[in-house]
Amino acid sequence: MIRLAVAVGMAITMFGCSFRHANAQTFDRLVWQDDFSGDSLDYSKWEVEVNAFGGGNHELQIYTDRPENVRVEDGCLVLEARRDNAAISGTSREYSSGRVRTKHRGDWKYGRIEVRAKLPQGQGIWPAIWMLPTKDEYGGWAASGEIDIMEMRGQQPNVVLGTLHHGAPWPNNIHTGDEYTLEQGTFADDFHTFAVNWRANEIEWLIDGKSVQKQTRWESSGGKYPAPFDQPFHLLMNVAVGGGFLGPPDATTEFPVQMLVDSVKIYQ
């Protein structure tokens, strides 16, 4: 999700290839979950982030803790982007939205991270499910890594991306990854399950149980491989608006838009 300027990516391994050195470890022990079955967010598991400054990507939203932007409703976490000129801490922006994270409430090293969600669409709408290191053990972003489980440009609602950010601190960071195109319909039509199997020497992306990408090579200026992806990470979910990654909304973008999260499950 944190993008900024990036250098040319490294080679990755893709779509069903076989790897002699791949770790065959499976994850079948459920260690953390939230199915949003209550009528309010479980703050023992989630922090609602409040941020007026656009997330570092020239985004246009302000993240608030208002129920208009973050709430639990009908068995789902609702992250809603609105065009309502919301204000916090003396700063107002044309767009508001919601962002949550598990930092210090759910932090994991390796495992299967699985999120079932229905995504919003529209020009300039940027839903993301991603992970950051709980401690910057190897230095500032992206030397300590970032795992993007799923992100989508709302103007391409049938395509999602899975990406690793690593290398040296910005602006000498690099990213590696690929995209997946849904065979029929869009990711805004129904719920889909986005997951990664994160192992010591391999990160595998899955959509609805189908393996769509594997990466086995990455680097960090702060440590030897398998750094930086050998430290505890936490989960983030948000809907951004605008930014250099996808451009601003236009006259075709309808607000409000929602990312609905049905469940989050962590297996180790």
pLDDT digits 0-9 by tens, 9-60: 333 433 333 333 445 678 999 999 999 999 999 999 999 999 987 677 899 9
Domain presence at residue 3: no
* pLDDT bucket at 134, cuts 50 / 70 / 90: very high
For residue 4, pLDDT over 80 is answered with no
Phi and psi based region of residue 179 (left: phi greater than 0; alpha: psi -120 to 50; beta: remaining): beta
Instruction: Report the share of the chain in percent with pLDDT over 90.
Output: 86
* pLDDT confidence of residue 262: 98
Domain presence at residue 16: no
For residue 3, pLDDT over 80 is answered with no
Q: What is the pTM of this model?
A: 0.92
Measure the CA–CA gap between 197 and 148, rounded to whole angstroms.
12
Token readout for 8 is 């040319």
Domain presence at residue 212: yes
Domain presence at residue 35: yes
* pLDDT confidence of residue 2: 66
pLDDT digits 0-9 by tens, 66-79: 999 999 999 999 99
pLDDT digits 0-9 by tens, 199-250: 999 999 999 999 999 999 999 999 999 999 999 999 999 999 999 999 999 9
Domain presence at residue 215: yes
Domain presence at residue 157: yes
* pLDDT confidence of residue 12: 40
Number of domains observed in the structure of the chain: 1
Domain presence at residue 118: yes
* pLDDT bucket at 93, cuts 50 / 70 / 90: very high
For residue 148, pLDDT over 80 is answered with yes
Average pLDDT of the chain to the nearest whole number: 92
First to last CA, the chain: 24
CATH at 126: 2.60.120.200
* pLDDT confidence of residue 89: 80
* pLDDT bucket at 179, cuts 50 / 70 / 90: very high
C-alpha distances in Å from residue 183, one per residue of 129, 158, 186: 21, 8, 9
> Of 80, 114, 146, 202, which residue is the catalytic one?
146
Higher-pLDDT residue of 94, 25: 94
For residue 90, pLDDT over 90 is answered with no
Closest listed residue to residue 265, CA positions, set 24, 11, 28, 13:
28
Domain presence at residue 46: yes
Catalytic annotation present for 151:
yes
* Domain, as residue range, for 62: 27-267
> Of 80, 114, 151, 204, which residue is the catalytic one?
151
